[in-house]
Copies of this chain bind each other. A is one copy, B any other.
Amino acid sequence: MHFFSDNNASACPEALEALVSANGVTRGSYDGDELSARLDRVFGDFFGHDCRVFPVSTGTAANALALAAFIPPWGAVVCHEEAHIQVDEAGAPEFYTGGAKLILAEGEGAILTPETVEDSVAALRGDVHQVQAGALSLTQASEYGRVYSPDQVSALADFARGRGWKVHMDGARLANALVHLDCHPGDVTWRAGVDVLSFGFIKNGGISAEALVFFDTDLASTIPHRRKRAGQMPSKGRFAAAQLLAMIESGAWKRNAEAANAGARQLAAALGDRLMHPVEANEIFVRIGTGNAAKLRAQGFDFYDWGDAGSGEARLVVAWDTPPGDIQALARAIAALED
C-alpha cells in the first residue's frame, strides 16, 4: 500500500486517452502542432490572464528555467530553507542560471512570511561584492503540505515587488492548493502577484509533462532559447501538450486533487496529535517513532522516513488514485500503534 510519493501514482484516464488520441490527429514537429498552439489560450482562459506556456519534462526543469528567465549568474533567489529547489533538485537552479545563489529563509510549515524573507536578506548589501537578490520563490502547496492563502501570497509578492524582485511559484501541487482554497486559479497566482508559475501535472495524474507558465509574458523572452538549449523542447511536443490540455479542459486536475486531498483529510483525522503540521493538501507529516515505522512497513505500508535518521518522523502522501481501502487500513493501523 503506497503512501511513499504521488510520483508513484498512476496516470489518470483523461491524460492517457488524450495522449493516445493525439496520435495521428495532428502533426508538426517540436511545437508546430495544433495542440501546442492551443496551450497559451487554454491556460489563459483557465487563469483569466494572458500567458505563455512551455511544456517541460520535469518540475525541476520548470523551476530552474523559470528562475533563469530573470536571475543573472550573480543574482540570488530567496526561498524557504527546505524548498524543493534548494534540497531536492541537485543544483538545477544553479545550473540553469549559470551559478546564482539561493538565499534561505525560515518559516513554520515551509511557509514564508514577509518577515522571514526580510530577515533572510537583512545583512545583504547592494554592492558589487555580493550577489543581488532578484526573486522570491514560494511553493504552493508548501513542502509540508501547507497552503498559502491569496492574502499571504499577496503580502509576499508586495514585499518582493517593493525590492524590485520577481515572484516565482513552484506549483508542483498547485492543484491540491487550489482545491483546498476553493478559489479561482488566478486568485492565488497572477492576481496575488505571481509572475511565473511551475504548474505541476505529473503528481496529480499526468504522465510526462509539466507546464511552465509566464503571466508576465515579457519575462519569457529568453525561454524558447533556454528551453531548447536545455534539451527541454520535445520533438513531438503534441504528446506533452495533449496531457496538459486534457487535464485542464476535462477538469481532471480538480477531480484528482479533490480525491487526494479528501484521502489525506481522512487519514489526518485518524492521526490526532501525531500530526506535525495541519493537513491542507495531500501530504501528511507525522511523528510515529522508529519502532512503529517498522511495524507499519511490516504490515505492507510504504512511506518515506522524514527528518534526521532516528527521528521517527514520516511523510505520508495520498495520491489521486490511492484506494480508499488502503487509506482506511493505514488509518486503522496507525490508531492501533502504541507511542
> Is the beta-carbon distance between A23 and B7 smaller than 8 angstroms?
no
How far does the Cβ of A252 sit from chain B's closest Cβ, in whole Å?
14
Chain B proximity mask over A223-243: 1 for CB below 8 Å, otherwise 0: 011101111111110011000
- The answer to whether A11 and B236 touch (CB under 8 A), given A20-B16, A61-B230, A72-B222, is yes
How far does the Cβ of A231 sit from chain B's closest Cβ, in whole Å?
3
- The answer to whether A98 and B73 touch (CB under 8 A), given A27-B2, A225-B132, is yes
**Of all chain B residues, which has the CB nearest A33?**
B8
How far does the Cβ of A32 sit from chain B's closest Cβ, in whole Å?
8
Tell me if A207 is interfacial: C-beta within 8 Å of chain B: yes
Give residues 268-323 of A contacting B (CB, 8 Å). 307-308
Residues of B within 8 A of A57 (CB): 57, 208, 231-232, 234
Tell me if A95 is interfacial: C-beta within 8 Å of chain B: yes
> Is the beta-carbon distance between A99 and B90 smaller than 8 angstroms?
no
Query: Which residue in B56, B95, B234 is a CB contact (below 8 Å) of A73?
Result: B95
Tell me if A4 is interfacial: C-beta within 8 Å of chain B: yes
Chain B proximity mask over A54-81: 1 for CB below 8 Å, otherwise 0: 0011111110110000001110000000
**Of all chain B residues, which has the CB nearest A207?**
B239
Query: Which residue in B27, B61, B229 is a CB contact (below 8 Å) of A92?
Result: B229
Tell me if A94 is interfacial: C-beta within 8 Å of chain B: yes
- The answer to whether A224 and B128 touch (CB under 8 A), given A57-B232, A100-B94, A239-B11, is yes
Residues of B within 8 A of A24 (CB): 10
**Of all chain B residues, which has the CB nearest A132?**
B225
Tell me if A182 is interfacial: C-beta within 8 Å of chain B: no
Q: How far is the CA of A59 from the CA of B231 in the complex (A)?
A: 7
- The answer to whether A228 and B28 touch (CB under 8 A), given A20-B20, A240-B208, is no
How far does the Cβ of A109 sit from chain B's closest Cβ, in whole Å?
17
Tell me if A30 is interfacial: C-beta within 8 Å of chain B: yes
Residues of B within 8 A of A149 (CB): none
Residues of B within 8 A of A308 (CB): 122-123
Chain B proximity mask over A13-31: 1 for CB below 8 Å, otherwise 0: 0001001100110011110
How far does the Cβ of A15 sit from chain B's closest Cβ, in whole Å?
10
Tell me if A89 is interfacial: C-beta within 8 Å of chain B: yes
Query: Can you list 16 A-B pairs with a CB-CB distance of less than 8 A?
Result: A16-B23, A57-B232, A58-B231, A58-B233, A59-B235, A62-B231, A73-B91, A74-B91, A74-B226, A92-B231, A95-B99, A99-B99, A123-B307, A123-B308, A208-B234, A230-B231
Residues of B within 8 A of A152 (CB): none
Q: How far is the CA of A216 from the CA of B2 in the complex (A)?
A: 36
Question: Besides the contacts A61-B230, A73-B91, A207-B236, what 6 more A-B pairs have beta carbons closer than 8 Å?
Answer: A2-B27, A57-B231, A91-B229, A128-B233, A129-B228, A208-B239
Tell me if A101 is interfacial: C-beta within 8 Å of chain B: yes
Give residues 106-149 of A contacting B (CB, 8 Å). 122-123, 128-132
Tell me if A336 is interfacial: C-beta within 8 Å of chain B: no
How far does the Cβ of A96 sit from chain B's closest Cβ, in whole Å?
8
Tell me if A88 is interfacial: C-beta within 8 Å of chain B: yes
> Is the beta-carbon distance between A229 and B58 smaller than 8 angstroms?
no
